[in-house]
Amino acid sequence: MKLSRQPSAVSARLLVRSASLLVPNRRRADWTAEWLAELWHVEHVSGTVSATSLNFAAGAVNDAFQLRAHSVRAQLMSRLRSLMQPGAPARCLLVLAAATLAALLLCLALPGARRVFLPSPYQHAASLVLISSSGSADLATPSIPVSDYREWTTNTAPLFSELAFYRVAGKTLHLADGPERRLVVAQASPNLLHLLGLRSASATAPALFLTHAAWRKHYRGDAHLVGRVSDIDGTPVPIAGILPADAWQLPGSIDAVLLENPATLAHLAPTTRGFAIARIRGAVFPPPRRGYRFMVETRHDVVYHFDCISLPWLLGQPFANVLLVLFLASIALPATLPLSLSEAPVRRGPLPRATLARRAAFLVAKLTLVPLLVLLCSIALTWGPRFDPNTAFLIQFVTGVPTLLFAFRWILHDQRHRCPECLRVLSNPARVGQASCNFLAWNGTELLCVRGHGLLHIPELPTSWFSTQRWLALDSSWLCLFAEQGNPSPEPI
Amino acid sequence: MTSMPAEARLSHSAAMILQAIHAGHIYGFGVMEVTGLPSGTVYPALRRLERDGFIASRWEQQSIADAEQRPPRKYYRVSRVGRATLEAAWKRYPLIERMLPTPEVERV
């Protein structure tokens, strides 16, 4: 007993008792008793209380820590297993979230779909407009004659601070030591890239700018390409630079931008059609935030209409299409499926608020994830292969609305076939009653919550007294029949 | 308690501790003394071995402890699964059987 009163003995016991706080409650008494008994023996075997007993007691900290770590790990695994069981709501949400993430990654991997999500690469894009004579219906087709462009460069200065023109044409490009390549080139006025904010100053024309994709595809990312002189249809043109990836978002799928001399553009036939891009003066002509504005021109007593279509609005069309598809699917849903989730449940009292909130949150999460997944897939499908905007919209509309409608139906069907209390999918369907006795008795299908919360009755034929499914809550006296509820797994060690 | 296959592989330390218990050193401190391992290694290893079903523990009878005027100790014994695992461990670590011989071997 003398030994125990020494400071080292007290410190060792204090250390063991402190470490015991780390041990899970269920094992603490047993653990502490073993360590104290062993400590007593250490002290009596060595005969003196010294650093030996303190060293011995220090091992208790590691022992307690490892027990706690194992307990936490086992509890987490147990909780995870419970969450990931078939039919568990967390598993459903996790699968949906993983699929949505995969769809987002697919969109980001496809260049056409990726640019839908990226911010506009153009500086001060709000004041940029695409001038079209055919409205927004057919923006993929060039509609501005070069003669109009020439005229506007002189008489639209109050409206536009800068005006540029380009037309898409096939050109043969030849480098001194390389093969000839047929490229699709935007033959443009020298200020096009400056207008878009892709260059700080107008380049000395003529100059060729390859798109990043064409540079990688045709020249394998040759770092020494810039500065070399190419031969384009017999005219020597220096390669002045490589456009940043995803920089070209204007109509026309091109490999390069060829900035031409004004004199060369002047040689184009007046009826040659292309695209006109302008930066409007905000003070006199407020930028069109949504859609487009008319520009009216009178020539030879004839009125011409042109549409100045906002470039940001144009680039945001995929999202506008998505919203339209979502809206159409939402209004079509009640026509295809009753929206109520079930009749009032037959139970002794209302469900607790927390359960109701959890159920609502689960529904909202599905209503968020599923449409998002469908819409991301539709963007990848339509904008990934770089269809023209009209075809993309058509495909998005034709595929998006029915798929979303189906998705909404699945969400409601899934919600109806889950236990209102634990949100697990109801199982063990059983046919009850006979259809021939429909007027005398109930017949239909019964689904069961494996945790014993209740039964869902789904009528085979809706009748005036039993038209939709009903939830029958079971009281706690039934729980012993359900293995999952009645025999909870023991607390992990 | 989790059942483990008989051929489950043990680390060298775990095999030494199992061998020490098999050799008759049935208390944690006794195992420490014969193996030379610190308490921070021996006791966590005992928990793991017990959890895996290789050893089982029992508290000493209170009357015995009272008679000797000391606290009762917890002692360990090798289970059937632990014995099979230990025999497999002897093939991997032949020296441990010589370092900590079982009483029968010692007699021979």
Predicted pLDDT at A225: 83
pLDDT band for B48, please (50, 70, 90 cuts): very high
Nearest to A34 among B32, B44, B74 (CB): B74
Q: Where are the extended beta strands (E) located within A318-440? A: 427-432
Distance from the first to the final alpha carbon of chain A: 35
Contacts of B68 in chain A (CB under 8 A): none
Calculate how close chain A gets to B19, using CA atoms only, in Å: 20
Stretch A415-436: mean pLDDT, rounded?
83
Q: Where are the extended beta strands (E) located within A331-469? A: 427-432, 444-448, 454-459
Contacts of B39 in chain A (CB under 8 A): 38, 55-60, 63
**Low-confidence winner among A79-88, A89-98, A414-423, A430-439 (lowest mean pLDDT):** A430-439
Calculate how close chain A gets to B39, using CA atoms only, in Å: 5
**Low-confidence winner among A201-205, A305-309, B31-35, B69-73 (lowest mean pLDDT):** A201-205
Which comes out higher in pLDDT, residue A347 or A386?
A386
How far apart CA A154 and CA A157 sit, in angstroms, is: 6
Cβ-defined contact of B44 to A41 (cutoff 8 Å): no
Name the interface residues of A facing B (CB cutoff 8 Å). 30, 33-38, 40-42, 44-45, 55-63, 66-67, 70, 493
How far apart CA B58 and CA B65 sit, in angstroms, is: 14
Contacts of B13 in chain A (CB under 8 A): none
Contacts of A56 in chain B (CB under 8 A): 29, 32, 39
Report how far apart, in Å, the C-alpha atoms of B56 and of each of A39, B22, B80 are: 21, 12, 10
Cβ-defined contact of B70 to A41 (cutoff 8 Å): yes
How far apart CA A227 and CA A221 sit, in angstroms, is: 14
Mean pLDDT of chain A: 80
Cβ-defined contact of A62 to B40 (cutoff 8 Å): yes
Contacts of A77 in chain B (CB under 8 A): none
A302, amino acid identity: V
Cβ-defined contact of B29 to A42 (cutoff 8 Å): yes
Structural contact between residues A99 and B77, judged by C-beta atoms closer than 8 angstroms = no
**Does a cis peptide bond (omega within 30 degrees of 0) precede residue A459?**
no
Predicted pLDDT at A487: 44
Which comes out higher in pLDDT, residue A48 or A395?
A395
Q: Which one of A41-50, A63-72, A347-356, A389-398 scores highest in mean pLDDT? A: A63-72
| pLDDT digit string, tens, across residues A249-297 | 888 888 899 888 888 888 888 888 888 888 887 656 665 555 556 666 6
Predicted pLDDT at A138: 67
- Mutation target to probe the B interface, by most B beta carbons within 10 A, among A40, A41, A73 is A41
Predicted pLDDT at A486: 43
Nearest to B43 among A37, A55, A59 (CB): A59
- Mutation target to probe the B interface, by most B beta carbons within 10 A, among A2, A32, A56, A73 is A56
B11 CA to centre of own chain: 13
Predicted pLDDT at A474: 80
Predicted pLDDT at A143: 82
Cβ-defined contact of A37 to B42 (cutoff 8 Å): no
Q: Which residue of B has its CA nearest to A54?
A: B39
Predicted pLDDT at A491: 37
pLDDT band for B45, please (50, 70, 90 cuts): very high
Contacts of A41 in chain B (CB under 8 A): 27, 29, 70, 73
**Low-confidence winner among A14-28, A29-43, A461-475 (lowest mean pLDDT):** A461-475
Cβ-defined contact of B28 to A63 (cutoff 8 Å): no
Query: For tokens 């999500």, what's the residue?
Result: A117
Number of Cβ atoms within 10 Å of the Cβ of A326: 18
Stretch A105-125: mean pLDDT, rounded?
82
- pTM for this structure? 0.60
pLDDT band for B107, please (50, 70, 90 cuts): very low
A490 pLDDT above the threshold of 50: no
A348 pLDDT above the threshold of 60: no
pLDDT band for B6, please (50, 70, 90 cuts): very low
Tokens read off for A3: 């030994």
Closest among A189, A191, A233, A185 to A209, alpha carbons compared: A185
Q: Which residue of A has its CA nearest to B44?
A: A63
Contacts of B28 in chain A (CB under 8 A): 34, 38
Closest among A401, A413, A392 to A374, alpha carbons compared: A401
Cβ-defined contact of B38 to A61 (cutoff 8 Å): no
Stretch A325-342: mean pLDDT, rounded?
77
Structural contact between residues A280 and A161, judged by C-beta atoms closer than 8 angstroms = yes
Contacts of B38 in chain A (CB under 8 A): 55, 59
ipTM of the complex: 0.88
pLDDT band for A492, please (50, 70, 90 cuts): very low
Stretch A151-172: mean pLDDT, rounded?
83
Predicted pLDDT at A346: 47
Buried b (16+ CB within 10 A) or exposed e, A202-235: bbebbbbbbbbbbbeebbeeeeebeeeebebeee
How far apart CA A241 and CA A166 sit, in angstroms, is: 18
Contacts of A35 in chain B (CB under 8 A): 43
Contacts of B40 in chain A (CB under 8 A): 58-59, 61-63
A442 pLDDT above the threshold of 60: yes
Torsion of CA A396, A397, A401, A403, to 10 degrees: -30
A1 pLDDT above the threshold of 60: no
Which comes out higher in pLDDT, residue A210 or A151?
A210
pLDDT band for A438, please (50, 70, 90 cuts): low
A42 pLDDT above the threshold of 90: no
Structural contact between residues A468 and A342, judged by C-beta atoms closer than 8 angstroms = yes
pLDDT band for A439, please (50, 70, 90 cuts): low
Report how far apart, in Å, the C-alpha atoms of A336 and of each of A397, A403, A409 are: 18, 13, 8
Nearest to A41 among B29, B41, B43 (CB): B29
Stretch A141-154: mean pLDDT, rounded?
83
Structural contact between residues A411 and A366, judged by C-beta atoms closer than 8 angstroms = yes
| pLDDT digit string, tens, across residues A186-206 | 999 888 888 888 875 556 778
Which comes out higher in pLDDT, residue B77 or A314?
B77
Q: Which residue of B has its CA nearest to A490?
A: B1
Cβ-defined contact of A36 to B71 (cutoff 8 Å): yes
Burial (CB count <10 Å: 0-12, 13-18, 19+), residue A165: buried
Burial (CB count <10 Å: 0-12, 13-18, 19+), residue A264: middle
